[in-house]
Amino acid sequence: MIRARYVAVRRFSLVRLLLVLGAAFVGVGLIWVVATNLDRLAPLARFLLVAAIWLSLLVGSEVLAARRGIGDERRSPALGAARLLAALAFGAVVFQAAQSLQVPAYEPRLLGVWGLGALVQAYAVRGLMPLLLGIGVASGWYVWQVAESADSALGFVAAVLTGGVVISALALLHRSSWLRGAGLPRSFEVAWREAGALLVLVGLFAAALPHLDAHGFRWSASLVAGLALGAVSMAAAVAGVDDRWSRLELLVPVVALVIGSGLVLWDAGIEDVRYLSGAAYAKVVVGVLVYLATAAWFAVLGVLRDSTRLTVIAALALVVFTTVQAFAVFAPIVSGATLFLVVGGVLVVSGFTVDRGRRQLTRAVEAGAP
C-alpha cells in the first residue's frame, strides 16, 4: 500500500510537469504568433482576437475550478496549467496592444504591464502559477529598466539586489498581521521568499565577479522608486511580525544590497587575475566569504521555514558560484580541486557543528519536559 502511494505521487508530479510545460509552450507560441503571423488582419481585429482568446482561457480556467470544486492548484495540476496559460495569454494581449499602438516590442514597460496583470490574476483567483509567472516577469522588467537607465554594471547589481529586498519584504508581509486574515495560501509566502533569495544570490554572484565596476553609473527614477518601495515594505513587515527570525530574514537582503553595491564600487584595479594586488585579493576574498555566508543563511532559512526548494536553491547556487570562481579567479592562484576541498571542508565542519547543537538542544528540551 505504501509503495502504491509513492507511485501515485510520482505520476502526479509527472502529470504536473507535462501540463506546465505544455501550457508554457502554448503560451509562448501564442505570443510568437501575435508577433509574426497576424499581419493580414487589421490592428483592431488582431487585438480583439487575442483579447478574446485571453478572456476565454481566463474564464475557462475558473469554470474548471468551480466545476471541480477545487481551488488549490496542488490538488489539480490541470487547473494550474490552465491558469498559467491564461496569464501567458495576457502577455500576448499586452504585446498585441503595443504593436497596434506602434510601441517597440523591446520596451521593458511591456514586461511590467504583463507582470502586473499576472500578479492581479494570481491574487484574484488565489493562483500559484500566475503568481510565479508574475514574479518572474515583473522582476525581469525591473532589472531591465534600471540596468538600461543606469547604463552600468552597478545598475544591474543594484537592481537585482533591490528586487531581492522588496520581494523578501513582501514574503514576510504574508506572515504579518496585516495579511494574516486575508486567506492567502501559504504557497504565496513560500514563492515570494524563494524568489527573493534567488535574486539576492544572483546579485551577489554578479557583485563578486572581479571585473565589474561602477563606471558610467547614473541614478534613475526606477532605482530610487525601488529603494523607496523596499523601505516601505520592510517597515510594514517589521511592524506586522514579532519574532526574531522574521526580522533577521529581512536584514540579510539589506546587508547583501549594501555589501554587493560596495563590492562593485570598490575599484581594486583588477585588470588581469594573474596579477592581483593586495587590495584586489582583499576584494575577491570578501566577495567569496559574503557569498558563502549568504548562501549558508538561505539554506538554514529553508530548514527553518520548511522549504526544501529554498535549501536546494542555496546549495546549487553555492556549487555554481564555487565552480565559476575556481575557473575565473582562483585558477591562477590555487587549483579548482583545492578550492572545492577547502569550501567542502568548511561546509562539512559547519554541518557537524550545527547538527551537534541541534541534538544537544533536543536533549535539553526532552530533559526539561514534564
Q: Check pLDDT > 70 for residue 168.
A: yes
How big is the chain by its Cα radius of gyration, in Å?
23
Query: Of 74-83, 136-145, 146-155, 216-225, which one has max mean pLDDT?
Result: 136-145
CA 212 – CA 266 distance, rounded (Å): 9
What integer best gives the mean pLDDT of the chain? 78
Mean pLDDT over 257-270 rounds to 83
Q: Which three cell numbers stand for residue 344?
A: 567542502
Long-range contacts of 55-62 (CB under 8 A, 24+ apart): 57/82, 57/85, 57/86, 57/89, 58/86, 58/89, 58/90, 58/121, 60/86, 61/85, 61/86, 61/125, 62/125
Long-range interactions of 323-327: CB distance < 8 A, separation 24+: 324/205, 325/208, 325/288
Q: Rounded mean pLDDT of 16-35?
A: 65
| Nearest in space to 312 (alpha carbons), one of 322, 323, 297, 302 | 302
Q: What is the mean pLDDT of residues 256-283?
A: 74
Answer with the residue of higher pLDDT: 246 or 233: 233
pLDDT at 101 over 60: yes
DSSP string, 341-356: HHHHHHHHHHHHHHHH
Output phi, psi for 185, to 5 deg: -65, 150
Q: What is the pLDDT of residue 4?
A: 42
Cell readout for 355 is 547538527
The percentage of the chain sitting over the pLDDT mark of 90, rounded to a whole number, equals 24
| Cβ(83)–Cβ(125) below 8 Å | yes
Range name among 100-109, 171-180, 199-208, 329-338 with the lowest pLDDT average: 329-338
Instruction: Count the alpha carbons within 13 Å of 14 in the hemisphere toward its beta carbon.
Output: 6
Residue 177 sits at φ, ψ, to 5 deg, of: -70, -20
| pLDDT on residue 27 | 67
Highest mean pLDDT, choosing among 19-23, 222-226, 334-338: 222-226
Which of 156-170, 184-198, 276-290, 355-369 is predicted with the least confidence, judged by mean pLDDT? Answer: 355-369
Domain map of the chain by residue range? 1-138, 151-318
The answer on pLDDT for 340 being more than 70 is: no
Mean pLDDT is lowest, of 95-104, 253-262, 351-360, for: 351-360
227's grid cell: 529603494
Residue 64 has pLDDT above 60, yes or no: yes
- pLDDT surpasses 50 at 261: yes
Instruction: Give the residue-averaged pLDDT of 137-155.
Output: 90
- With contact defined as beta carbons under 8 Å apart, do 23 and 87 qualify? no
3 state DSSP class of 366? helix
Closest CA to 176 of 99, 251, 263, 234: 234
Is 222:151 a contact under the CB 8 Å cutoff? no
> In sequence order, which ranges of the chain are alpha helices (DSSP H)?
2-36, 43-68, 77-100, 108-125, 128-150, 153-173, 186-207, 221-240, 244-265, 278-304, 308-325, 336-368
User: Which band of pLDDT confidence, cut at 50, 70 and 90, is reported for residue 266?
Assistant: confident
Q: What is the pLDDT of residue 201?
A: 95
Q: Is the pLDDT of residue 8 over 50?
A: no
Q: What is the pTM of this model?
A: 0.80
Angle, CA of 329, 332 and 337, to the nearest 5°: 80
What b-and-e string marks burial along 186-200, b requiring 16 or more CB atoms within 10 Å of the CB?
A: ebbbbbbbbbbbbbb
